[in-house]
Amino acid sequence: MSNPLVLWGIAAALLFWSVGAYNRLVRLRSDANEAFAAMAAELTRQAELVHASMPASMIHTGLTQPGELLDEVTQLWDGLRAAATQLTVSIAAMRPRPLQPEAAAALCEARDVLISAWIRVDQEASDLAGSSIPEALTQQWQQLSAQSRSAGEHFNQAVGRYNDGIGQFPALLLAGLFGFKPARGV
């Protein structure tokens, strides 16, 4: 008589553990998704700042007439605009599946390209009067950069907790069963 009770007790314990472990994995995934949304908002602000800061001569056409050569400064600004557009596209591609490693790698690369393009414009698109980027705009960029770095660190921490959660035994059995896959930070 006690044998079936023990078996039922073990089955109930396993069921309750499974539900709890599954809920924990869902919560960890949700936390990482929320952290991505915050990071995406900060990165989008950076891309919007770039588009809003384009020189007036580039706003309407963006390029010279066909057959004309682009000067170096215009090429630098055009590269910066392209980098901002690339970042925006990478964010949009990652938004439906924020924990997909390939999308995270593309976003990380796009962010790095944008930062490099900004530095190039700041350092190389200058004349005797100084940088072609106004000081107020540089300060705004630095503030947005700090905010996006902070949001990126928060996302990376959430991804780390998620990866730890799906990698722990015996939760990894449920993770494999329900399709929880390792993610990549940025």
Q: What is the CATH number for 42?
A: 1.20.120
Structure tokens at 131: 């940088």
Establish if 135 belongs to a structural domain: yes
Q: Report, as an integer, the average pLDDT of 35-40.
A: 97
**Could you tell me if 171 and 24 are in contact, meaning their C-beta atoms sit under 8 angstroms apart?**
yes
Establish if 16 belongs to a structural domain: no
pLDDT digits (tens, 9 = 90+) for 85-137: 999 999 999 999 999 999 999 999 999 999 999 999 888 866 655 567 788 88
Classified as helix, coil or strand, 68 is coil
Dist. CA 49–CA 141, nearest whole Å: 8
Structural domain of 79 = 35-160
Q: Report, as an integer, the average pLDDT of 144-150.
A: 96
Per-residue model confidence (pLDDT) at position 139: 94
The model's confidence at residue 61, banded by pLDDT at 50, 70 and 90, is: low
Establish if 21 belongs to a structural domain: no
Per-residue model confidence (pLDDT) at position 91: 97
Establish if 12 belongs to a structural domain: no
Establish if 108 belongs to a structural domain: yes
Per-residue model confidence (pLDDT) at position 67: 42
> Who wins on pLDDT, 15 or 25?
25
What does pLDDT average to over the chain? 87
Establish if 26 belongs to a structural domain: no
Dist. CA 49–CA 44, nearest whole Å: 9
| Number of separate domains in the chain | 1
**Could you tell me if 64 and 74 are in contact, meaning their C-beta atoms sit under 8 angstroms apart?**
yes
pLDDT digits (tens, 9 = 90+) for 23-32: 999 999 999 9
